[in-house]
Amino acid sequence: MCLINVKQLDVTYRVGYKTVFVLKNITLDIKSGEYVCVIGNNGAGKSTLIKTILGLEPISRGEIKINCSKNYISYLPQNNGISLDFPATVEEIVLSGTQSTKNKFKVLFYNKKNKIQARVAMEKAGINSLAKRRFGELSGGQQQRVLFARAIVKCPKILILDEPCTGLDHDTTEKFYELLSRVNSSDKTTIIMISHDLTAVKKFASKVVILNGDLKFCGSVDDWEKYNFCACGGNL
Amino acid sequence: MNINEIVNILSYPFMVRAIIVGILVSFCAALLGVVLILKRYALIGHGLSDVGFAALSLATTIGVSPIYVATPIVIIASFIIMYISQSKKINGDIAIGIFSTGALSFGVIITAFSKGFNMDVYSYMFGSILAMNKTDLVVSIFLSVIVIFTFILFYNRLFIISADEDFARAIGINIRFYQFLISLLTALTVVVGMRMMGTLLISSLIIFPAFIAKKFVRSFKYLVVLSALFSILCFVLGLIASLVFDLPTGAGIVLVNIIVLILCSVINCLLCIRKVAS
């Protein structure tokens, strides 16, 4: 089933009287259960693409169809979106991921089910022992796990990640990718991830998207091999 | 002034009104202050209080009860400031600067044209406990209950929006609605509090308690609770100080807040040093 359908997408911004294209004529389909890795050089429009899918950036032309409610989409941002001096415990942050806009008339307090969901997510991310700790005093890897737990707490159908392993050490990165792979295979969550880690992309991805302002490549890892795993748009 | 005299004064009807409204305003301001300082919107309260000053000057000139004129004007101004702040071309602080100086000069010009500066305007700017009549009391209680009830109802949403706006938007939460809700609640708090605290000092009720409480807490929930406690404590001590030393009420409360801030900063430093040493 086609879950996300991007059709002739342009994203632009204006500098004075000039229109600058960040993304030009992008057309791609993402199916349910796929593990999609988006790669490309800096400034290639990777973050813009996922932010446009999430509705954080406006579309200049074209359309994006998402065949599920926004309640089933989750997001792990590139730079930790939470300021380090923000006073919140790990539990509070993970619980906040259970919020939904499904029922507008529902009281906005957390119920027992939400608390169980949060505990399960923290268990999956291996951060149960950190539940009462302040988010800002955790290490980078632990913070990333907390945000990951928040992202998976609702068992989303689509999980979008923007360079989730930036700044993490080798072991933590490995563990994180394995965690992600488990979520993809056991919960059938569709994953869209921006990554510069080509080894991980080759190992885990079912589809590779290469951007350089426009779409340079979209296909399986086997097809990508024909291009010698070229990661930048220039040689494709 | 001995304790008996203070207790005597505190039992006068105007003082009872001032204490009820003061505690309610301190509570509302502390709740909102948490969201406003975490979202870096702390100066919105200051901009709105200057708009409140213009509204009060206008109300005095045309002879209408200030709260009826100030409420709609401050609410509309809060929406405009929030709308302009969302624009990528204009920063929020510029929008607040334009509004606050513009409103202040508008208020001063109206006052100058009507009857010049007098005690009324002085008490508007720096606060007076004599300012509250019975109608003000009823309206203030009504507006405060709206603010407190709305804050509790949307507590979890306000948490996620303060913590990570991009994530909240990504999961489908209507950020704009909550930004305007925060503006509305701030406007109501400013309107209720500015008679007693003074238009120039009301924003301190929003900024100080949350900032002081933030030094000691690890969770958002405790920040809200501690901020409310600090706010009410500083109000009561400030009110007593203003009676004992014959100070304008608003200035007395701000002074107590500053003393508590300094004390808490020192305690926090000592705690940190002890933690590092151990």
CA pair distance B85, A5, nearest whole angstrom: 34
Residue found by looking up tokens 């392993």 in the block? A165
Would the pLDDT of B193 be above 90?
A: no
Give residue B274's pLDDT band: very low, low, confident or very high (50, 70, 90): confident
Contact A101 B153 (CB under 8 A): no
Confidence (pLDDT) at A233:
55
CA distances from B95 to B48, B98, B184, B195, B198 (A): 11, 5, 17, 24, 22
Q: What is the pLDDT of residue A139?
A: 86
Task: Name which of A74, A107, A108 is nearest B171 (Cβ-Cβ).
Answer: A74
| Per-residue pLDDT, A36 | 93
Residues in chain B with CB shorter than 8 Å from the CB of A160 are 170
Across the interface, of A73, A87, A101, the residue whose CB is closest to B223 is A87
Best of A75, A85, A104 to disrupt the B interface (most B CBs within 10 Å) is A75
Per-residue pLDDT band for B137 (boundaries 50, 70, 90) equals confident
- Say if the Cβ atoms of B214 and A85 lie within 8 Å: yes
Q: Which of A195, A156, A190 is nearest to A173 (CA)?
A: A195
* Cα gap A194→B218, rounded to integer Å: 32
Question: CA dist B275 to A3, A212, B213, B264, B270, Å?
Answer: 52, 50, 19, 16, 9
* Residues B203-262: tens digit of each pLDDT: 899 999 999 999 999 999 999 999 999 999 999 999 888 888 888 888 889 999 999 999
Q: Which of A55, A69, A81 sits opposite B167 (nearest CB)?
A: A81
The Cα–Cα gap between A120 and B179 comes to 32
Q: Domain map of chain A by residue range? A: 1-68+157-236, 85-156
Question: What is the per-residue pLDDT for B206?
Answer: 92
pLDDT band at B116, cuts 50/70/90?
A: low
CA distance A55 to chain B (A): 7
* SS3 (DSSP) at A171: helix
Residue B38 near chain A (CB below 8 Å): yes
CB atoms A96 and B155 under 8 Å? no
Minimal CA separation from A198 to chain B, in Å:
27
Q: Can you give the C-alpha Rg of chain B in angstroms? A: 19
Averaged pLDDT score across all residues of chain B? 87
Q: Higher-confidence residue: B278 or B247?
A: B247
Question: Which chain A residues are closer than 8 Å to B153 by Cβ?
Answer: 107-108
Chain A partners of B223 at a C-beta cutoff of 8 Å? 87
> Of B189, B175, B178, whose CA–CA distance to B154 is shortest?
B178
Q: Is A132 helix (H, G, I), strand (E, B) or coil?
A: coil
User: Residues B58-115: pLDDT tens digits?
Assistant: 888 888 878 888 889 999 999 988 888 777 677 777 888 888 899 989 988 888 887 6
Please name which of A151, A177, A190 lies closest in space to residue A34, comparing C-alpha atoms: A190
Q: How many CB pairs under 8 A join A and B?
A: 89
User: Looking at CA atoms only, how far is residue B167 from chain A in angstroms?
Assistant: 6
- Residue B265 scores a pLDDT above 90: yes
Report CB contact under 8 Å: B219, A101. no
Q: Work out the average pLDDT over B18-26.
A: 90
Contact assignment for A88 to B159 by CB distance below 8 Å = yes
Predicted-complex ipTM score: 0.85
* Contact call for A77 and B221, based on CB within 8 A: no
Contact B172 A110 (CB under 8 A): no
Residue A236: per-residue pLDDT: 56
Look at residue B199 in the predicted model and tell me its pLDDT.
82
Domains and CATH numbers, chain B: 3-202 (1.10.3470.10)
Taking only residues 163 to 182 of chain B, the set having a beta carbon closer than 8 angstroms to any beta carbon of chain A reads 163-174
Q: How many CA atoms lie within 13 A of A122 on its CB side?
A: 22
Residue A90 CB contacts under 8 Å (≥ 6 apart), including other chains: A122, A127, A130, A131, A132, A133, A135, A138, A146
For CA atoms A230, A41, A3, A152, give the dihedral sign: positive
The residues on A that touch B, with CB distances below 8 Å, are 54-56, 69-71, 73-75, 77, 81-83, 85-89, 92-93, 96-97, 99-101, 107-110, 132-134, 137, 150, 160
State the Cα torsion B30-B34-B40-B45 to the nearest 10°: -20
Contact A108 B217 (CB under 8 A): no
Average pLDDT by stretches of 10, chain A with 236 residues = 87 84 90 90 88 90 88 82 88 91 69 91 89 90 89 90 83 85 88 89 89 86 77 59
Beta-carbon separation of A89 and B171 below 8 A: no
State the CATH architecture for A1-68+157-236. 3-Layer(aba) Sandwich (3.40)
Q: What is the pLDDT of residue A122?
A: 92
* Closest CB to A86 among B163, B173, B221: B163
Which chain A residues are closer than 8 Å to B89 by Cβ?
none
Tally of CB atoms within 10 A around B20:
15
- Quickly list DSSP for B31-90: HHHHHHHHTT-TTHHHHHHHHHHHHHHHHHHHT--HHHHHHHHHHHHHHHHHHHHH-SSS
Closest approach of chain A CAs to the CA of B38, in angstroms?
A: 7
One DSSP character per residue, B245-261 reads TT--HHHHHHHHHHHHH
Indicate whether B150 pLDDT > 60: yes
A22 alpha carbon, distance to own chain's centre: 19
Determine, for residues A108 and B165 on separate chains, whether the beta-carbon distance falls below 8 Å. no
The C-alpha of A223 sits at a distance from chain B's nearest C-alpha, in angstroms, of 32
- The angle subtended at Cα A51 by Cα A49 and Cα A52, nearest 5°, is 65
Place of tokens 């001995």: B2
Buried b (16+ CB within 10 A) or exposed e, B206-242: bbbbbbbbbbebbbbeebbbbbbebbbebbbbbbbbb
Of residues B121 and A236, the one with the higher pLDDT is: B121
* Long-range contacts from B114-118, C-beta under 8 angstroms, 24+ separation: B114/B57, B114/B60, B114/B61
Alpha carbon distance B101, A145 (integer Å): 46
Collapsed DSSP state (helix, strand, coil) of residue A207: strand
Show Cβ contacts of residue B61 under 8 Å, excluding neighbours closer than 6 positions: B110, B111, B113, B114
